[in-house]
Structure 1
Amino acid sequence: MSILKISIRQIKAARSLLGWSQDDLAESSGVSKPTIGRLEAIDSDDPIGGRPETGEALVAALEKAGVEFIPENGGGAGVRLAKRGKKR
């Protein structure tokens, strides 16, 4: 999915699904906590602002942790936890 279509509101929702703080996301993504705080203060459905590599790092960290970003499909964009394989 293109980073340009992921909103900061989706980032916040993904963080919430994982139970992550801004500190957790900062540690996992390599993006500073103040930068995450500034981005999240916007609280918008607009695409992530700032440098493209910042958004890419945030999305990559959340996806690695098991979040799937759902594109706008008539029902609105969103996030969900990826389906996990069966445990044996």
Structure 2
Amino acid sequence: MARVALDWGTRDLAAKAGVSPDTIARFERGEQLKSATVATIQAAFHAGGIEFIPENGGGVGVRFKKPAS
């Protein structure tokens, strides 16, 4: 969801996260990755303006961060 919201392809995300497109494909298939790799991908999304929403009764999700004032 986050990648689509930013209009990024798998190669875009891979470049921004500094990982291979194959790593992104494995991540999106739900395969197990090293926690450091997942953190790197999440940091790339965060830098792109995405905020991750934890489980809060309505399920986990993503949204755009509020712009800094």
Pair in the same fold by TM > 0.5: yes
- Unaligned 5+ segments in structure 2 are none
- 2: distance between equivalents of 1:25 and 1:70? 20
**Equivalent position amino acid for 1:52 in 2:** S
Q: What is the count of residue pairs matched by the alignment?
A: 69
- Unaligned 5+ segments in structure 1 are 1-12, 43-47
Match of 1:78 in 2: 61
After TM superposition, the structure 1 = structure 2 runs for residues 6-85 of structure 1, keeping only pairs within 5 Å, are 13-42=1-30, 49-85=32-68
Cα deviation, 1:7-44, whole Å, max 9, x if unaligned, reads xxxxxx110110000001000001110111122123xx
- Looking at both structures, which has the greater relative contact order when contacts are Cα pairs under 8 Å and sequence separation is at least 6? 1
Cα deviation, 1:34-80, whole Å, max 9, x if unaligned, reads 111122123xxxxx721111101000000011000000000100000
TM-score (norm 2): 0.90
- 1: distance between equivalents of 2:58 and 2:29? 25
TM-score (norm 1): 0.72
